[in-house]
Structures are given as C-alpha cells and as structure tokens.
Amino acid sequence: MSLQLRTAAANNKSSGLRHLLAALTFFCLFSLATRLSAQIAYTPDWPSLDARPIPAWYADAKFGIFVHWGVYSVPAFGPTGGDDIYVKYAEWYWKRWQEGQPAFAKHHAETYGPTVTYPDFARDFTAGNWDPDAWAKLFKQAGAQYVVLTSKHHDGFALWPSAQAWNWNAAELGPNADVCGVLAKAVRDEGLRMGYYYSLYEWFNPLYLDSVPAYVEQHMLPQLYDLVNRYEPDVVWTDGEWEYPSETWRAPEFLAWLYNESPVKSKVVVNDRWGKETRGKHGGYYTTEYGLVHDGKADETLEARPWEECRGIGGSFGYNKQETLEHYSTSEELVHTLIDVVSRGGNLLLNVGPTADGRIPVIMEQRLTDIGTWLARNGEAIYGTRAAGVVSNDERVRFTRKGDRMYAILTAWPEDGKLTLPNLGDYKWREARLLGRDTVLAADKKRTAITLPPLEPDLGQWAWVVELR
Ligand code: GLC
C-alpha cells in the first residue's frame, strides 16, 4: 500500500471513529436533555406557573359559549336598570335577597313569601326540556370553538355528582343527571372543546363560613381534582376568588399539579381568577367582564397575554325573566363586539342563560345563529388570527392578521365605496379581495384607497372583510 493510500485509510478510520463518538455524545446529551425536561416541573409559585405557555388552541379559538345554569335559573330574577352591572346578575339571587338588596327582597316577598327558601328552588330546576345535543349543535352552528359550563356557582350547587356536595348537586336534586358529564359528551361529539367554570368561594357553605382552610382542604380542592380527573376539561375557569389571596385557596399548588401531572397537562387552559391579587396579573389568560376587570376599571394591561371578554347577551349571566328585547344586544352589536375583541387580540366568551327546564331562550338562539351565519362567511378573518397592531383613525375598521395575510374588517359599508387604509407599518401587500368575491380590487397609486365592489345582499350584513396578501 502506498503511503498516500495508507494515510487515507487511517483518516477514514479515524473519521469513522469520530462520527461514532459524535453520535454517542449526541445520544447521551439527548437522553439527558429529555430526562431533564421531564423533570423540569412547574413549581407552586407564580413566576414558575406564569411561565407556562398557554396552549395555542386557545388563542386560535376566538369564540366560546359560556353557560350559566343552576338553581338560580328557577327564580330567574334580577333588576334590569341602573348603572351597577353586578346587581343585575340573576345568578346572585340567593345572596342579594339575603343581604336585603331592595329589588330582590321585594321580588322574593311578593312572589314566594317568607317560607320559601333558596334551596327549595332546587326541585323546580327540572331540566325537563333539556336536549344537550341540541345545545351542542347550536353552539357549533354559532361558530363557537369551546364551551364553558358553570359546574358550581357561588351558591355551591354542583352540576355533577360531587361527593363533597352530597346533598346539593344535580344528580341528587333537580335534573337528576350528571349535567357536567352529559354536556361534555354532547359538546365533544360536535367537535368543540369543553371547560368548566368553578367558584372557589361559596356564600353559605357552613364549612366555608366556619374555617376557610378546612373548606379548601376538604371541599374545594377535592372538587377541583375530581372535576379535572373525571371530565378532563380543556378550560378550568375559576371565579369567586376575591375574598382571599391565592395562597389561602392553595391555587399555586393546584395549578402545579394541573400543569405537571394532571391528565390534561398539555391541553388545559386556565384564567386569572385564582386569588384576590391575581386578576390581570397571574395564571393563564386574563379576563374582563362586560369590558371591565373586577374592580370596575377598564383593563389596560391586556396586551401582555391572551385574554377573554365574557358577557351576557343581556345584562345577566343567569337567565333573567325580567329582561325584554331592549335589554338584549342585537346581532349586529354582538358581531361588532366579537370583531372588536378579536382585533385587540382577545377571545369572546358569550354567555347564554338557559331556563330551569333546560331551554335556551329563543332570542339567545337567534343571536347565536346570526353570529354563526356571519362567521361562516367571514371566519377566516377571526379564527387563528392575532391582533395586527394596526389602528385605524376610522373606528369602524378593525384589523387582524394571520401569517402573511392582513384582514381589514369593515363594521360599516363606506359611503364612498372605498376602504381607506391607515399606515400598515412594515406590512406589504400585493392583492386585495373582498371575502365572498373572487375579483382583485383596484387600489390607488399610493395603495391606501381600495375600491370596493357594489354591496350586494349575498355579502351578508353587519361587517365585511377585505383580505390583503
Ligand atoms: C362574576 C360573578 C358572576 C359571573 C361571573 C362571570 O364575578 O360573580 O356571577 O359568574 O363573574 O364572569
């Protein structure tokens, strides 16, 4: 063998060795990394818990349905006027009546008299006309991607066979059914995600009134673990957190379990109501309610995380029989609310309040169906989008963005038939089209004025989308 050949052979051998070594090192490092990452656990403190990325399905979903249904659906009463948004909530009936709020006290005295108690209402919470599949179909038709049901509101009545609420749940009283489980099945069969609202505090639970730590240990935490293990929710939507800090509720401990070990650790999404100090600051996504955070101020910190606005179609979450057409938002208003929220990077969780016998009031059904009609045509500008970071001087035009596309959503058809674009920053586009039409729209030289086609009935109502790409 010539010297050259021998050197080449030796080189080959040593490069083979080197490859082997490199592969071995890579393998060792890789298995170490996987082992480490399996061990990297969220610890029960806010800096660690807040660092968990919110599963992407949530910010893509954009539109969910909130359902407030319970014993309060029997009296279904709340005052309809006034500036205090919270006093209109019919689901607060027990508390408002007990504290002597004039409208509730008067209504109770005149309608039921002093001998009828709130727990007496449970037997009339019959769910006799409840068709869970029809609810789920309606939510799907509305274009919603997820549903959040009140598993337990502040009155403590559980909509599932909770061992902790042994004398006060829907399997033993009223519906005689596992409402949480039955609805989850129907909703998932329609391809939607299922979540639960859960009130941390209970107004009149003797254990809560006697010892909060005992209540948390023996009642609240077991219920939360039970809900998660039984129904594997996509959303855990807590509330009623404001009387105590998150530490008292042992919320960080629960969340560390939820994120590290629970059966839903990779998909579950939670909100920010985990203690009196947490709203808009800690947890998963931030929440607003009728546009406000709990202290009654509008929230300015929203952009920091995914967030969600929740509200009723009327002024209450629980069904309120006192409400008439004038108290309900129109379909146009609701579509505009959805657009406004989504253009600011949020989700809308729109509430329905079913009746005690399980019907979704026709007016609510109609509003949901209308939103669904609009979304079927224009959903491309909503689902999976993010705030475009573009603000138009014209309030009536909102922007969303998805990949290389930008959507200008017009909540009014411009009188001059032109869409005027604001400064789009770095964003460049080649073509503009109106959703529902194939033709490329003409623009002026500066590309700031786009000429729209004639507005024809098949384009639908309430809002129209120009897609830029
Ligand atoms: C609240 C209320 C309530 C309603 C809710 C929805 O803070 O107490 O009745 O369930 O939040 O956001």
The residue whose C-alpha atom lies closest to atom 8 belonging to ligand 1 is 240
Cα(251)–Cα(321) distance, integer angstroms = 36
The HSE-up count of residue 208 (CA atoms within 13 Å, CB side) is 19
**Contact predicate 409/339, CB 8 Å:** yes
CA 87 / ligand 1 centre spacing (Å): 11
pTM assigned to the model: 0.90
CA 10 / ligand 1 centre spacing (Å): 76
Ligand 1 atom nearest 242 alpha carbon: 7
The order of strands in the sheet holding 235-239 is 269-270, 235-239, 193-199, 146-152, 63-67, 346-352, 307-312, 286-289
Residue type, 109: A
The verdict on the CB of residue 241 being under 6 Å from ligand 1 is no
The verdict on the CB of residue 72 being under 6 Å from ligand 1 is no
Q: Provide the pLDDT for residue 113.
A: 95
Cα(185)–Cα(229) distance, integer angstroms = 15
Angle between helices 221-231 and 179-189 (to 10 degrees): 30
Q: Provide the pLDDT for residue 6.
A: 44
Q: Tell me 87's DSSP state.
A: G
Low-confidence ranges of the chain (pLDDT < 50): 1-10, 28, 30-39, 296-302
- Token pair for residue 46? 């806010």
Ligand 1 atom nearest 273 alpha carbon: 7
Cα(461)–Cα(17) distance, integer angstroms = 70
Largest CA-CA distance found in the chain, in angstroms, rounded:
113
Burial 313-329 (b: 16+ CB within 10 A, else e): bbbbbbbbebbeeebbb
The verdict on the CB of residue 309 being under 6 Å from ligand 1 is no
**Contact predicate 102/187, CB 8 Å:** no
The verdict on the CB of residue 91 being under 6 Å from ligand 1 is yes
Ligand 1 atom nearest 153 alpha carbon: 10
The residue whose C-alpha atom lies closest to atom 12 belonging to ligand 1 is 289
Cα(159)–Cα(219) distance, integer angstroms = 15
Ligand 1 atom nearest 294 alpha carbon: 7
The verdict on the CB of residue 239 being under 6 Å from ligand 1 is yes
The verdict on the CB of residue 58 being under 6 Å from ligand 1 is no
Cα(81)–Cα(87) distance, integer angstroms = 9
The verdict on the CB of residue 235 being under 6 Å from ligand 1 is no
**Contact predicate 466/408, CB 8 Å:** yes
Helix (H, G, I), strand (E, B) or coil at 198: strand
Pairing mode, strands 63-67 and 235-239: unpaired
Q: How far out from the chain centre does Cα 264 lie?
A: 17
Residue type, 210: D
Secondary structure (DSSP) of 295-347 = TSPPPS-GGGS-EEEEEESSS-SS--TT--GGGSPPHHHHHHHHHHHHHTTEE
- Token pair for residue 235? 């959303």
> pLDDT, tens digit, for every residue of 185-221?
999 999 999 999 999 999 999 999 999 999 999 999 9
3-state secondary structure 105-119: HHHHHHHCCCCCCCH
Ligand 1 atom nearest 318 alpha carbon: 9
CA 239 / ligand 1 centre spacing (Å): 7
Q: Which of 84, 89, 149, 151 to mutate to test the pocket of ligand 1 (most atoms within 8 A of CB)?
A: 89
The verdict on the CB of residue 388 being under 6 Å from ligand 1 is no
Q: Tell me 160's DSSP state.
A: S
**Contact predicate 272/278, CB 8 Å:** yes
Q: Which residues contact 134 (CB under 8 A, 6 or more apart)?
A: none
The verdict on the CB of residue 155 being under 6 Å from ligand 1 is no
CA 197 / ligand 1 centre spacing (Å): 9
The verdict on the CB of residue 317 being under 6 Å from ligand 1 is yes
> Among residues 43, 89, 91, which one has the least CA distance to residue 290?
89
Ligand 1 atom nearest 92 alpha carbon: 9
**Contact predicate 199/239, CB 8 Å:** yes
> Among residues 402, 412, 404, which one has the least CA distance to residue 381?
402
Q: Which residues contact 276 (CB under 8 A, 6 or more apart)?
A: 241, 242, 243, 244, 245, 246
Cα(389)–Cα(411) distance, integer angstroms = 18
CA 317 / ligand 1 centre spacing (Å): 8
**Contact predicate 451/418, CB 8 Å:** yes
Q: Provide the pLDDT for residue 58.
A: 98
The verdict on the CB of residue 89 being under 6 Å from ligand 1 is yes
Q: Which of 77, 239, 285 to mutate to test the pocket of ligand 1 (most atoms within 8 A of CB)?
A: 239
The verdict on the CB of residue 94 being under 6 Å from ligand 1 is no
Ligand 1 atom nearest 66 alpha carbon: 6
Q: Which of 276, 285, 289 to mutate to test the pocket of ligand 1 (most atoms within 8 A of CB)?
A: 289
The order of strands in the sheet holding 386-387 is 386-387, 397-402, 405-410, 464-468, 432-434
CA 5 / ligand 1 centre spacing (Å): 82
Secondary structure (DSSP) of 110-150 = HHT-TT--TGGGGGG---TT--HHHHHHHHHHTT-SEEEEE
